[in-house]
Structure 1
Amino acid sequence: MSSGERREQIVAAAMAVFGAKGYEGTTTDDVARTAGVSQPYVVRLFRSKENLFLAAMQAALDELMRVFRATLADSPSDRPVAKRIGEAYVDLLSTRGLHQTLSHAWLLGGHPVIGPAARHGFAQVWQFFRDEAGFEAEQARSFLAEGMLINVMIGMRLVDDYGSDARITELFRACFPTELPHILDIAPRGDEPW
Structure 2
Amino acid sequence: MNASPDRMSAEDRREQIILAAAAVFGERGYAGGTTDAIAKQAGISQAYVVRMFGTKEKLFSAVGQMANDRIVGAFRAAIATFPPGASDQQKQQAMGDAYASLMQDRGLLLSLLQLFSQGHDPVLGVQARQCFLDVFRVVRDEAGLGPQVAVEFFARGMLMMILMAMRMQDATSDLDAAQFLSVVLGPLEAQVVPLLAQPPLGDARR
Rounded Cα–Cα distance in structure 2 between residues aligned with 1:175 and 1:85: 15
Q: 1:175 aligns with which of 178, 184, 199?
A: 184
Aligned length: 192
Q: 2:64 aligns with which of 57, 68, 76?
A: 57
Gaps of 5+ in 2: 1-7
Look up the equivalent residue of 2:98 and give its one-letter code.
Answer: A
Look up the equivalent residue of 1:92 and give its one-letter code.
Answer: L
- How many Å apart are 1:192 and its aligned residue? 2.1
- How many Å apart are 1:76 and its aligned residue? 2.2
Q: 1:28 aligns with which of 10, 35, 47?
A: 35
Q: Report the TM-score when normalising by structure 1.
A: 0.93
Residues 71-124 of structure 1, C-alpha deviation per residue, up to 9 Å, x if partnerless? Answer: 111262867111110111111100131221111111100111111011111111
Q: Could you say which residue in structure 1 is the equivalent of 2:174?
A: 165
Q: Report the TM-score when normalising by structure 2.
A: 0.88
Q: CA RMSD in A?
A: 1.6
Q: After the TM superposition, which parts of structure 1 deviate over 4 Å for at least 4 consecutive aligned residues?
A: none
Q: 1:193 aligns with which of 198, 201, 206?
A: 201
Q: Could you say which residue in structure 2 is the equivalent of 1:94?
A: 104
| Contact 2:100/2:191 (8 A) holds in 1 | no
Identical columns (%): 39
> Is the deviation greater in 75-84 or in 165-174?
75-84
Look up the equivalent residue of 1:193 and give its one-letter code.
Answer: L
Q: Could you say which residue in structure 1 is the equivalent of 2:143?
A: 133
- How many Å apart are 1:173 and its aligned residue? 1.2
- How many Å apart are 1:22 and its aligned residue? 0.7
Look up the equivalent residue of 1:174 and give its one-letter code.
Answer: V
| Contact 2:103/2:196 (8 A) holds in 1 | yes
Gaps of 5+ in 1: none
| Contact 2:82/2:91 (8 A) holds in 1 | no
> Is the deviation greater in 17-26 or in 70-79?
70-79
Bigger RCO (CA 8 Å, 6+ sep): 2
